[in-house]
Amino acid sequence: MLIAVTIWLAISIIIWLFAKPKIEVSGTVASVSLWAISFALCAAVDFDWWGTMDPLGWLNAMFAGPTEWILGKV
């Protein structure tokens, strides 16, 4: 996955070089942050950083209970 996202980044840089857009500070910060998140997610998958941990555990903790409650009531 890291290879895939690196190729994706390379394509993005080529498009950016050809498009020559105006440099916008907030847009650049947002862009770099999103790239960092995507690389972190890919690395987490490739190196199994989180082991058996559920990345959506927080949603499970918040919403699985209410769903079960409704299913139990009907």
Partner 1 sequence: MGLMTFQISRIQMMILMFWVVMGTGVLTMPLAIAHFTIRDGWIAALLFFGGSTFAAAICWLYAKAYPKTSLSDALVQSLGPYFGPVVVLWFVVWLAIHTALVSRQLLVFAEITILPQTPLPVIAFAFFLPVTYGVSLGLEVIVRFGEFITPIALPVSLLLTVLTIPNMHVHLLQPILADGWTPVLQAALQPAVAFAFQLILVLQILPHLRHPETVGRDIFVVGAISTMALLASEVVIITILGGSANYLQYPILEAVRGIQIGRFIQRLDTLYVMGIVAVIFLKVGLLQYLFVSSLKSVLRLQSLTGILMPASAVTGAATIFLWRDTVSLSHYMISITPAYFAFTLGGLPLLAAVVKLIRPQTGQTGQKSGSKKGGLRTT
Residues that bind partner 1 in the complex, under the rule CB under 8 A: 1, 4-5, 7-9, 11-12, 15, 19, 21, 24, 26-28, 30-32, 34-35, 37-38, 41-42, 44-45, 54-56, 59-60, 62-68, 70-71, 74
Q: How far is the CB of 22 from partner 1 (least distance, A)?
A: 8
Token duo for residue 29: 């910060």
Q: How far is the CB of 52 from partner 1 (least distance, A)?
A: 8
Treating both helix axes as pointing N-terminal to C-terminal, what angle do 2-19 and 25-46 enclose, rounded to 10 degrees?
A: 160
Token duo for residue 63: 């919403």
CB 4 within 8 A of CB 42: yes
